[in-house]
Structure 1
Amino acid sequence: MSIVQQKLHIAVFPWLAHGHILPFLEVSKFLVQMGHRVSYISTPKNISRLPKFPLELSPNLSFVVLPMPQVEGLPPGVESTADIPVHKLPYLKKAYDNLETPLAEFLKTLRIDWIIHDFAPHWLPRIAAPMGINLAYFIIYSASTTAFFGPPDELIGGHRQRPEDFTVTPEWIDYPSDVAFKLHEIVSLEQGMDQDVSDFIRWGSVLQGCQVVTLRSCPEFEPDPLRLLPRLLQKPVVPIGLLPPLLTSAPPDEDDEDDTWKSLRKWLDGKNPKSVFYIALGTEVALSPSLAHELALGIEKSGLPFVWIIKNRPLVEGQMDQDILPPEFEERISGRGFVLRGWAPQMRILAHPSIGGFLTHCGWSSTIEALGLGLPLILFSGAYSDLGLVARLLHGKRVGMEIERNEVDGSFTSEAVAKGIRVVMVEADGEAIRANASAMREICGNVELGRKYLTEFTRFLENYKPLTL
């Protein structure tokens, strides 16, 4: 436990998405370990879904539950992006905006020094500033994504007005980069935006109003964008590191293992080292039934053993994941493939010696987990959020290979899927990818490096001169 001269009270306020909620929790736990008091703020279901934490953290880590506002168009009981298809996301953002008043009332009840916040609450600067509360904008995305979106004035009213404008590297990028959207990706991203307040306006507004920007990256992984960002954003940029997943996690207790993992582990134990590829498409990826069938057929055509995690959520309106596997798929791959529906212990699976690669939707958390274990990536962009930008970044770093897709509509063939899997897993053309990914373990899995950047971020918060009323 680090002793600090002044114990800060820090509020933490993530966006309502699994990929945001957990990194914010990891930072919260670290700040508590450093001696600060943290109030983690979210809605009831999101708080209830959080993983358990060590009891010794509990006195200084409190969870503040704000009732989820209901808005027309948002199905009852929905509190996160994982519960709805992409075209319903604008209603979730409208509901999130209705948290402004209850959040302001909470902030008035306590002395808060900092709020660590996400991209969505464009209204937060105007309620925090009169209270003298400093804002730290935690961008859970990569530095390359952050640089691609650009400065606040570009986000709020820049020259990129058409989807096509986002398919090229912007003029302010002063280093070699292929990071840009494919047309189908930016069209999909815009489908999830609230037309009254776009994600770009949200991002630009919180950038203008914050005192410091932190993001999930480090100079060892992304030196060029981290060099550019302070000048581009005109703000202090203090990277928080890659948040290796084992940073604050205890080793798994075999007594806690459930029957599903026990059966999967037994299956994996019977496979050769690095022979199995793992497939997980996150909680937000939407595929039509025909494209889901094409993906499954490509996985089958690869001829390699695999573990496929299928989430029990609607991929398209009224259709659950298990409805979109091709007929008799599971019978045909019996013995070679293991299909698991619902939640799965991803880190335990990735860490198993039989796993040799990861077919991923390119979520930043998942890719960091895989690269932290030295696993090469079969990149299948989820075409939402910044997933396409992550795919370009990792393809460019030669730690993975993108599955070839039509840039306009996102379609692909089963042959392209099979080819991508085989190159990354077994073919000679993928040797450099496998070697590069293995070397990334030294950065992405480096717990001490992660602690270094978290500590530097904490010191910035401690030493920053507070706003004066």
Structure 2
Amino acid sequence: MDRTEKLHIAMFPWLAYGHIMPFLEVSKFLALKGHRISYISTPKNISRLPKLPLHLSSNISFIEFPLPQIHGLPPGVESTAEIPIQKVPYLKKAYDKLEVPLTEFLKTSHVNWIIHDFTPHWLPGVATPLGINLAFFSIFNASFLAFLGPPSALLGDLRKRPEDFTVVPKWIDYPFNIAFKLYEMLNHQECMEDVSDFQRGGLVIQGCQFVTIRSCSQFEPDQIQLLSKLYQKPVVPLGLLPPSLPSKEDKRDEKWEAIKKWLDSKGVKSVFYVALGSEVILSQEFMHQLAFGIEKSNLPFIWVVRSSALVEGQVGHQDIIPPGFEERVSDRGLVLRDWAPQLRILAHSSVGGFLTHCGWSSIIEALKLGRPLILFSGASSDQGLNARLLHGKKVGLEIERNEQDGSFTSDLVAQKIRQVMVEPEGEPIRANAWAMREIFGNEQLSNKYLDEFTRFIEEFAPSALEF
């Protein structure tokens, strides 16, 4: 097409913050290139998005579809962060009902492309008759997708039991020792409903024009190459989308000022930061083991504890961490409730490591700043495979958990924290993580990938306009 001709692109993410934000970042880049963006989600999710820069607001429209009420989904819930994993199937059922308003919107809006998530398995059936091109944007990395395999594996009965996911699949054609643990698959099964996540992924991969992933060839060359073979269609990495640090003027946040003052009093790279994301739910027993391990490490730390990090039915902060814990560690530990400015904390010179649930966004934030990882798989979605991938890349150490039930010991937690943070054997880990800034923190590289992705869409577009 004529490169001056601008496209109308609809963005349709899954209802999870870890999906909504990367979709917004890509929207902003495409809008910067002059394309018209319709960002589609539910009212509550759209209201939570950060304000757009003034120069982009004319090119991005937010389209709100109210989420249909489903029996079993608590009223007012619109995202995965608001419910335990067992209720996510109801959210998927509600999301599937957005097919009706989305179809009506597409019929009259002259959309050229829909960039969509893994969830809307019904979307190819809606878009293809309307002559609209589809790009599946995976916010997961290439290693995770390669492990899941081609659409035939996702839609077939090759892997019927959770145990089938605990071995390396036969189609992996490069050195790879990454697989799920049994407890991770059992846990993930709780968030799937009649149409499994694998079926959803298989159908959207089959039905799209190309797949784009939040990764880059500098980090996963073999995996990206394999995906093109498995999918028999283009796989276009759009880079790691490293987030930008808030501007200096933005630092008048009182909570941050108090945290910064505390961090300023600590030595360089002496503090480890602990955060398990917005959706990981641990049992009280596991939370206590984690707390005792943090305590036994005898190192300064910041721990973000979410009040929803509870087993359903329990209430109150006293159930989350052991009685007396905060008093015992008050000289060297800072416990924050519910939310913390993660990127600012990780960027502070006193922070020397990150105990993470292994969500891909959190990993990108840490490696952008060269922070070594203490890998504690959150046991959902891609997190287990990410833990093994980063352990294998020697930028972190995984806290081993029992294959069957995910249990672990506080002694092992303390040991891994100390190895990553201060022990001599952790020096290569610290050096490798620091070196990763060249890839994960490289804004120029990130923009190059986004440019190539945008060019691919622009040059592919004529087939979308023949209707």
TM-score range, shorter chain: over 0.9
Q: Report deviation, 1:313.
A: 2.1
Whether the aligned pair in 1 keeps the contact of 2:281 and 2:308 (CA below 8 Å) is: no
Whether the aligned pair in 1 keeps the contact of 2:282 and 2:309 (CA below 8 Å) is: no
Q: Report deviation, 1:179.
A: 1.5
Question: Which residue does 2:238 correspond to in 1?
Answer: 240
Q: Secondary structure at the match of 1:316?
A: coil
2:367 maps to 1:367: no
Whether the aligned pair in 2 keeps the contact of 1:310 and 1:321 (CA below 8 Å) is: no
Question: Which residue does 2:302 correspond to in 1?
Answer: 307
* Residue of 331, 338, 343 corresponding to 2:334: 338
Note closer, same or farther for the CA distance 1:321–1:370 as it changes in structure 2 (3 Å cut). Answer: farther
Q: Report deviation, 1:74.
A: 0.5
Note closer, same or farther for the CA distance 1:375–1:155 as it changes in structure 2 (3 Å cut). Answer: same
The 2-side partners of 1:435 and 1:157 are apart by 43
Q: Report deviation, 1:252.
A: 3.6
The 1-side partners of 2:92 and 2:103 are apart by 18
Q: Report deviation, 1:251.
A: 2.2
Note closer, same or farther for the CA distance 1:16–1:192 as it changes in structure 2 (3 Å cut). Answer: same
Note closer, same or farther for the CA distance 1:320–1:151 as it changes in structure 2 (3 Å cut). Answer: farther
Question: Which residue does 1:214 correspond to in 2?
Answer: 212
Q: Report deviation, 1:16.
A: 0.4
Q: Kindly provide the CA deviation profile for residues 340-399 of structure 1, in whole angstroms up to 9, marking residues without a partner as x.
A: 112211110000000000000000000011001000000000000110010010000000
Q: How does 1:114-153 map to 2 (within 5 A)?
A: 114-153=113-152
Question: Which residue does 2:202 correspond to in 1?
Answer: 204
* Residue of 282, 286, 292 corresponding to 2:287: 292
The 2-side partners of 1:235 and 1:344 are apart by 41
Note closer, same or farther for the CA distance 1:211–1:241 as it changes in structure 2 (3 Å cut). Answer: same
2:424 maps to 1:428: yes
Note closer, same or farther for the CA distance 1:354–1:250 as it changes in structure 2 (3 Å cut). Answer: closer
Q: Secondary structure at the match of 1:238?
A: strand
The 1-side partners of 2:414 and 2:3 are apart by 54
Question: Which residue does 1:82 correspond to in 2?
Answer: 81
TM-score by length of structure 2 reads 0.97
Question: Which residue does 1:257 correspond to in 2?
Answer: 252
2:381 maps to 1:385: yes
Q: Which amino acid aligns with 1:220?
A: Q
Whether the aligned pair in 1 keeps the contact of 2:162 and 2:182 (CA below 8 Å) is: yes
Whether the aligned pair in 2 keeps the contact of 1:84 and 1:314 (CA below 8 Å) is: no
Q: Which amino acid aligns with 1:340?
A: L
Aligned-pair Cα RMSD in Å: 1.2
Question: Which residue does 2:455 correspond to in 1?
Answer: 459
Q: Report deviation, 1:244.
A: 1.1
Q: Report deviation, 1:461.
A: 0.5
Q: Which amino acid aligns with 2:384?
A: G
Q: Kindly provide the CA deviation profile for residues 270-308 of structure 1, in whole angstroms up to 9, marking residues without a partner as x.
A: 000000000110011111001100001100000000001
TM-score by length of structure 1 reads 0.97
Q: Secondary structure at the match of 1:448?
A: helix
Q: Report deviation, 1:436.
A: 0.5
Question: Which residue does 1:282 correspond to in 2?
Answer: 277
Question: Which residue does 2:17 correspond to in 1?
Answer: 18
Q: Which amino acid aligns with 1:308?
A: W
Q: Report deviation, 1:158.
A: 3.6
Q: Secondary structure at the match of 1:253?
A: helix
The 1-side partners of 2:338 and 2:446 are apart by 30
Whether the aligned pair in 2 keeps the contact of 1:314 and 1:321 (CA below 8 Å) is: no
Whether the aligned pair in 1 keeps the contact of 2:115 and 2:137 (CA below 8 Å) is: yes
The 2-side partners of 1:278 and 1:216 are apart by 24
Question: Which residue does 2:435 correspond to in 1?
Answer: 439
5+ residue gaps in structure 2? none
Whether the aligned pair in 2 keeps the contact of 1:314 and 1:320 (CA below 8 Å) is: no
The 2-side partners of 1:81 and 1:7 are apart by 34
Q: Which amino acid aligns with 1:262?
A: E
Q: Report deviation, 1:250.
A: 5.5
Question: Which residue does 2:444 correspond to in 1?
Answer: 448
The 1-side partners of 2:268 and 2:220 are apart by 31
Q: Secondary structure at the match of 2:240?
A: coil
The 2-side partners of 1:74 and 1:252 are apart by 41
The 1-side partners of 2:44 and 2:13 are apart by 14
Q: Which amino acid aligns with 2:313?
A: G
Q: Report deviation, 1:318.
A: 2.4
Question: Which residue does 1:268 correspond to in 2?
Answer: 263
Question: Which residue does 2:323 correspond to in 1?
Answer: 327
Q: Report deviation, 1:123.
A: 0.4
Q: Kindly provide the CA deviation profile for residues 42-72 of structure 1, in whole angstroms up to 9, marking residues without a partner as x.
A: 0011001111221110000110110011101
Question: Which residue does 2:42 correspond to in 1?
Answer: 43
Q: Report deviation, 1:314.
A: 4.9
Question: Which residue does 1:353 correspond to in 2?
Answer: 349
Deviates more, 1:308-317 or 1:232-241: 308-317
The 1-side partners of 2:246 and 2:339 are apart by 20
Q: Kindly provide the CA deviation profile for residues 323-349 of structure 1, in whole angstroms up to 9, marking residues without a partner as x.
A: 311001111110211111122111100
Note closer, same or farther for the CA distance 1:163–1:354 as it changes in structure 2 (3 Å cut). Answer: same
Q: Report deviation, 1:146.
A: 0.6
The 2-side partners of 1:67 and 1:170 are apart by 40
Question: Which residue does 1:28 correspond to in 2?
Answer: 27
The 1-side partners of 2:343 and 2:162 are apart by 36
The 1-side partners of 2:107 and 2:169 are apart by 41
Note closer, same or farther for the CA distance 1:91–1:314 as it changes in structure 2 (3 Å cut). Answer: farther
The 1-side partners of 2:151 and 2:252 are apart by 47
Q: Which amino acid aligns with 2:372?
A: P
Q: Report deviation, 1:312.
A: 3.1
The 1-side partners of 2:27 and 2:165 are apart by 34
Alignment size in residue pairs:
463
Q: Secondary structure at the match of 2:57?
A: helix
Question: Which residue does 2:408 correspond to in 1?
Answer: 412
Whether the aligned pair in 1 keeps the contact of 2:280 and 2:309 (CA below 8 Å) is: no
Extract structure 1 runs of 4+ deviating beyond 4 A: none
